[in-house]
Structure 1
Amino acid sequence: MDDQKIAKNRRPVFFTLANGSGLEGEVFLSLYEARRPGPQRVGELLNGRETFLPVKTAAGTLHLNVANIVRATTPSAEELHELMTLGKRYHVGITTLCGQEITGDIFVDLPQHRSRVSDYLNRPNRFIPVVMPGSVVYVARKFILSVRD
């Protein structure tokens, strides 16, 4: 059976869940991304079609329901790429339904007549990347109470 395994990259992620708990583990990423050159990123995994994500934790593999992830934090060294920082930079403060405050930068790379923060937030992605020093935080849109720019 081992020869049938698909090679994957692992990336450390800290999840904050809807019940307020935290979970530290590794997610499994494809070596190649279908829509652009290079390996898959955590953001692409979170915004994909899967409902459950396998997460390797110290206690074993847990299948995490994506609908209950408030935020996912991963180191920027491997996650951040130049396409994520194209466009106009906005420094924002995000308040989640759990009362958490997330402060960082978003980059809006949309046509000039639709390049406001609100235009960016209204895109169909489930998770919005926020760039912070040393990490990228993906915030679930459905758990966002407000965004200050």
Structure 2
Amino acid sequence: MLESLSVPKRRVAAQFVLPGGSSREVAVFLSEAAPGHTGGERLSDLLNNSGSQFIPAVDAETEAMTFVRCENLALARVAAELEPNVVDQFTIPTEHEVEVRLVDGQKLRGLITYVLPEAHSRLTDYLNSAPPFIPVLEGKQVALVNKRHVAYVETLRR
């Protein structure tokens, strides 16, 4: 009877990076459906909207269950196909190639993409209105960067 009440989850590989640069390969458990968009739950949904201070993850090497405090993550990486940038096909997104420098000195380069009303479409508007973890596309990965750990975001010339 209790099995019928469980929510189906899928196991998704991710990398959690702490302040200072230490990282762990983990698996997180995401729902097959997500409120607010089609398709399954994404890691960004879990980090930004869970309402939980801790999320469960399994260490990829040891299989030990770990409970990770979201606000203390500097960033989390996941395969880009698992974090699709949902943009209306009739809307041209704003894109910025950036370097993100974290408070601890770590830096990453990638692409920030978003859609905002034209009157409020500056990068600063997005950064100030974005959820706690902002997606930065790094080739075949998306880094979900915790804004609490960001020192600055610098735009790069394309």
TM-score calculated relative to the size of structure 1: 0.91
Q: Deviations over 1:115-137 (max 9, x none)?
A: 11100100151100001110000
1:36 and 1:77, CA in 2 relative to 1: closer, same or farther beyond 3 A? closer
SS in structure 2 at match of 1:26:
strand
Q: Is 1:109 aligned with 2:111?
A: no
Q: Deviations over 1:85-106 (max 9, x none)?
A: 9611110110001111111001
**What's the counterpart of residue 141 of structure 2?**
135
- 1:1-149 alignment to 2 at 5 Å? 3=3, 5-48=6-49, 49-57=51-59, 58-59=61-62, 60-83=64-87, 87-149=93-155
Please tell me whether the aligned partners of residues 108 and 116 of structure 1 are also in contact (alpha carbons under 8 angstroms).
no
C-alpha root-mean-square deviation of aligned residues, in Å?
2.0
Structure with the bigger percentage of strand? 1
CA distance in 1, matches of 2:88, 2:72: 24
**Long gaps (5+) in structure 1:** none
Q: Which amino acid aligns with 2:40?
A: P
CA distance in 1, matches of 2:150, 2:19: 12
SS in structure 2 at match of 1:9:
strand
Please tell me whether the aligned partners of residues 43 and 83 of structure 2 are also in contact (alpha carbons under 8 angstroms).
yes
Moved more, 56-65 or 3-12: 3-12
SS in structure 1 at match of 2:116:
coil
How far off is 1:50 after superposition?
A: 1.4
CA distance in 1, matches of 2:20, 2:98: 24
Please tell me whether the aligned partners of residues 84 and 107 of structure 1 are also in contact (alpha carbons under 8 angstroms).
no
The count of aligned residue pairs is 149
TM-score calculated relative to the size of structure 2: 0.86
Please tell me whether the aligned partners of residues 55 and 64 of structure 1 are also in contact (alpha carbons under 8 angstroms).
yes
**Long gaps (5+) in structure 2:** none
Q: Which amino acid aligns with 1:40?
A: E
Q: Deviations over 1:10-59 (max 9, x none)?
A: 11110111354211101110110111111011111110111101001132
1:82 and 1:108, CA in 2 relative to 1: closer, same or farther beyond 3 A? closer
- Structure label with greater radius of gyration: 2
SS in structure 1 at match of 2:82:
helix
